[in-house]
Amino acid sequence: MANHKSSLKRIRQEQKRRLHNRYYAKAMRAAVRALRATTDKAEAEKQFPVVQKMLDKLAKVNIIHKNKASNLKSKLARHIQKLG
């Protein structure tokens, strides 16, 4: 167990951040999954900018790596292209 006030505070902050990051990472995964499951091209094209914005925001605040965001966006774009 921590012996200093500062380490106790650090533990509280890390726990709060971990829960925050898990929530947004889970929401992102669910959105990507939903877009991949879509078979209608018009619907997928409507969802794509929302998912793309979410990925960019999460990469910006280092919840996911910027390269992972880029990889997911390109794979989703290819998926939408194939739907035609």
Domains in the chain (CATH in brackets) are 5-83 (1.20.58.110)
- Predicted confidence at residue 2, as pLDDT, reads 77
Question: DSSP 3-state assignment of 75?
Answer: helix
- Predicted confidence at residue 7, as pLDDT, reads 93
> Are the CB atoms for 78 and 55 separated by under 8 Å?
no
- Predicted confidence at residue 13, as pLDDT, reads 97
Question: Could you state, in chain order, the average pLDDT of each consecutive group of 10 residues for the chain (84 residues)?
Answer: 89 96 96 95 96 97 96 96 89
- Predicted confidence at residue 71, as pLDDT, reads 98
- Predicted confidence at residue 39, as pLDDT, reads 92
